[in-house]
Amino acid sequence: MDQKLLVGMSQKDITPPARVSLQGQFHTRISEYVESPLLANVFAAESAGDQIVICACDLVGIGLDFANTVRVKIRERCPDLDADKVIFSATHTHTGPEYYRVEKSLHVAAKFLPEEIKFVDYEKIPDDVWMQDKCGPFIADRLCEAVCEAWEKRQPGQISPSFGRAVVGHCRRVVYDDASAKMYGSTDTVNFEALEGGNDSGIELLYVFDAANKPVGALANVACPSQCVEGEYYISSDYWGKARDKVKAQLGDDFILVGLCGAGGDQSPRDLVRRNAKKQRRTDPNMYGLEGAIELGGRVAQVVLDKLESAAAEPSGQAVIAHEVLSIDFPLRRVTISEYDNAKRQFMDYVRSNPKTTYDSRDMSALHIHGGIMERYEKQQTVQFYTSEIHVARIGDIAITTNPFELFLDYGNKIKAMSEATQTFVIQLACDTAGYLPTAKAECGSHYSAYVSSGKTGHDGGELLVRKTLDTIQKLWQE
């Protein structure tokens, strides 16, 4: 069968033309200005009768219902594109808009408040702020345009895989001498035992060239979410925007860098070992601000630029593409009756100790874990599984895999280590947002990201994801 490769790429600004409510923190944040634009960057490829399209977005996540809304639009405009094989992924910036309906954990907990107590997250949203009803349709239209433009521009092209290294992510869960764990816990204590997991400095790369061997773009898979400026009050594409800026400064505005977030549920840009509130440590720039975003963006960009020359030496215009879309039933992570009773007791203890008629986000932050456990207990009486869309694709000797979780690094490492492919991309937060997927060790250590209410499934679901992904890769390599 002819394996001639057709490729197309596009980039589209998806920044709403107004102030927005920023997604990614417990409390409401209204943007004050645009620090850097939010983009959708798309890679489309077709060969031997199969296809793959990856649309990477500067957003905190991609809901499946929202992705399917965009797919409806795609089918109308590009009927020859199999919209079910369009992968939507998020860089996980915490400074992008709320654009689709998602029930925050604070609002889940608010359901259990006594009738006389009201939760007021924000006094009044200003009239000029775009909320979900405006941001959603705007972004959906932009994503449809970006995907269809890449698809319509496909022409004979070439790809060349590569690999580089840059330290971007660090484990953000701290383990203590009683085996407990804490996300962003303090390490400057005698009780500090270790970081719960490692990090992955590897960057999976796939360069794209036109038929004349001109570089037109690259895919880069980095195991760290894009959240240096996660608490700020402006719109920002975080370190991926800085990486793109540096690459474009060298290769031109038309060069498209598709940023793909790898398994990073327990990762962040911050080195917790060298972070110390009491002493000034000699360490990285501030990873809670733009200095950190610029630093990490520079590290990623330098790898992309450094590896281009060797990649350009041997691109290929022939590649088999095989793309499977799976529907997997993950077991819903359950709480026990005693966990439910304890959560209910602690919830009501807080309410009795704080006799007010109005609770704010600070109150609900203290209650959201208990409320989440109570909500899960009620849900598990009728719901046994979380059903998810998973993509596994082959492009030449490369495997592309997706999942909807903030996936702990160990699962991504298992997939890469046992994969039949020469190189494996693991893309998290793709085609849905299902919360954290912690390891068994993390569940024992507990705390945020490993609480029952932190995600849809637990470590048994993680092992199921690994097995199903590897089985599908093996199948694609045997065909």
3-state DSSP helix/strand/coil % of the chain, to nearest 5: 35, 30, 40
Mean pLDDT of 355-366: 92
Mean pLDDT of 320-326: 97
**Average pLDDT taken over every residue of the chain:** 95
pLDDT score of 277 more than 70: no
pLDDT score of 121 more than 90: no
Q: What is the pLDDT of residue 107?
A: 83
Mean pLDDT of 335-341: 96
pLDDT score of 2 more than 80: no
Structure confidence by residue, pLDDT tens digits, 221-234 = 999 999 999 999 99
In whole angstroms, give the CA distance from residue 294 to residue 299: 9
Q: Kindly report the pTM of this predicted structure.
A: 0.96
Which of 42-56, 203-217, 360-374 shows the lowest per-residue confidence on average (mean pLDDT)? 360-374
Q: Of 101 and 42, which is predicted with more confidence? A: 42
- Coil, helix or strand for 219? strand
Q: Which of 433, 454, 445, 448 is nearest to 335 (CA)?
A: 454
The per-residue DSSP string of 306-372 comes to HHHHHHHTS-BSB--EEEEEEEEEEEBPP--HHHHHHHHHHHHHHHHHS--SEE-HHHHHHHHHHHH
Single-letter residue type at 2: D
Mean pLDDT of 18-33: 91
